[in-house]
């Protein structure tokens, strides 16, 4: 497998208790990975480790065979872009200024933005349907609009690996589908490698090539949606018996139903 990112026996924590324990994962180039699991299972932590935001207590992280924490931050940022859960912005930047920040890893020391940077920023805003917001202060935008601007900033980095932590949580259903269709298109046409944390198992089922199921900081299951999203796996890991998994009659992917307890 042509691996872009590897985690080898990684354990990570925020204090003395491990949040991830002995996790090994290889993310191939042009993969589209969904990361799922109950609350507190380590989903966000695995993205933080993969993006250099959290150094593991044990084990190694490798980007294109290089130790991730040994390379310069700017070099890593030319390859890895992150869309975090927390979208708070403490200063009055316009959407345009935020997206242009995505070009900083590609600038030399004291180098100004060039025509190409402006073109890429504008294209990124167009891709996320936020070009009409370019002159707005991001703190005046709705949560969903701000989320799409942050995604545009990440795309402006022109990454080879895009990490997104619950990017659909603030979006209405129309923009959820638009975003995931965009991710699918970039994955197929540009060979962009994508890893997304999902709470919605059915969105993960429809869009991801592979799914990583975490539980208590351990890998419970890894494989295709059909291999991972089984009734047994979901019932046992999420601790909820009122689960039914059927095949979507249109896409033929697994579809997870949550049933009322009186049924």
What is the residue-level pLDDT of the chain in tens, covering all 263 positions? 578 999 999 999 998 788 999 999 999 999 999 999 999 999 999 999 999 999 999 999 999 999 999 999 999 999 999 999 876 777 889 999 999 999 999 998 888 999 999 999 999 999 999 999 999 999 999 988 999 999 999 999 999 999 999 999 888 999 999 999 999 999 999 999 999 999 999 999 999 999 999 999 999 999 999 999 999 999 999 988 889 999 999 999 999 998 887 66
How crowded is residue 37: how many other Cβ atoms within 10 Å of its Cβ?
Answer: 24
* pLDDT for 263: 61
Domains of the chain: 1-79+159-223 (3.40.50.300), 94-157 (no CATH)
- Residue 158, classed as helix, strand or coil, is coil
CB contact at 8 A, 186 and 193: no
* pLDDT for 89: 76
- Report the distance separating Cα 183 and Cα 175, nearest Å: 12
* pLDDT for 1: 58
Comparing CA positions, the residue from 42, 35, 38 lying closest to residue 17 is: 42
* pLDDT for 239: 87
Q: Given strand 32-36, what is the order of strands in its sheet?
A: 80-83, 161-165, 193-197, 32-36, 210-215, 218-223
- Report the distance separating Cα 3 and Cα 158, nearest Å: 19
∠ CA 131-137-142, nearest 5°, is 75
* pLDDT for 91: 81
- Specify burial of residue 61 (Cβ count, 10 A radius: 0-12, 13-18, 19+): buried
* pLDDT for 164: 97
* pLDDT for 109: 83
Largest CA distance in the chain: 65
For the stretch 80-96, pLDDT in tens is 999 998 767 778 899 99
* pLDDT for 34: 98
82: left (phi over 0), alpha (psi -120 to 50) or beta: beta
* pLDDT for 2: 77
Per DSSP bridges, beta strands 161-165 and 193-197 are: parallel
């Amino acid at each position: 497998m042509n691996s872009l990112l590897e985690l080898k026996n990684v354990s990570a924590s925020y204090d003395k208790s491990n949040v991830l324990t002995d996790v090994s994962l290889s993310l191939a180039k042009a993969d589209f990975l969904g990361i799922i699991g109950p609350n507190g299972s380590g989903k966000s932590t695995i993205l933080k480790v993969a993006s250099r935001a959290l150094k593991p207590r044990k084990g190694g992280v490798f980007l294109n065979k290089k130790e991730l924490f040994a390379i310069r931050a700017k070099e890593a940022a030319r390859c890895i872009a992150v869309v975090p859960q927390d979208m708070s912005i403490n200063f009055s930047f316009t959407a345009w200024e935020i997206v242009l920040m995505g070009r900083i890893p590609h600038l030399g020391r004291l180098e100004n933005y060039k025509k190409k940077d402006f073109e890429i920023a504008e294209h990124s805003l167009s891709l996320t349907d936020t070009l009409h917001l370019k002159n707005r202060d991001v703190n005046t935008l709705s949560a969903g609009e701000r989320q799409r601007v942050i995604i545009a900033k990440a795309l402006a980095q022109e990454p080879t690996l895009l990490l997104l932590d619950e990017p659909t949580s603030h979006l209405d259903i129309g923009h959820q589908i638009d975003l995931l269709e965009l991710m699918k298109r970039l994955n197929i046409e540009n060979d962009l490698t994508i890893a997304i944390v999902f709470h919605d198992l059915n969105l993960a089922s429809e869009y991801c090539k592979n799914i990583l199921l975490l539980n208590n900081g351990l890998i419970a299951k890894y494989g295709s949606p059909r291999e991972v999203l089984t009734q047994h796996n979901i019932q046992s890991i999420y601790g909820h018996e009122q689960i039914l998994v059927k095949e979507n009659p249109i896409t033929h992917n697994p579809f997870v139903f949550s049933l009322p307890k009186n049924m």
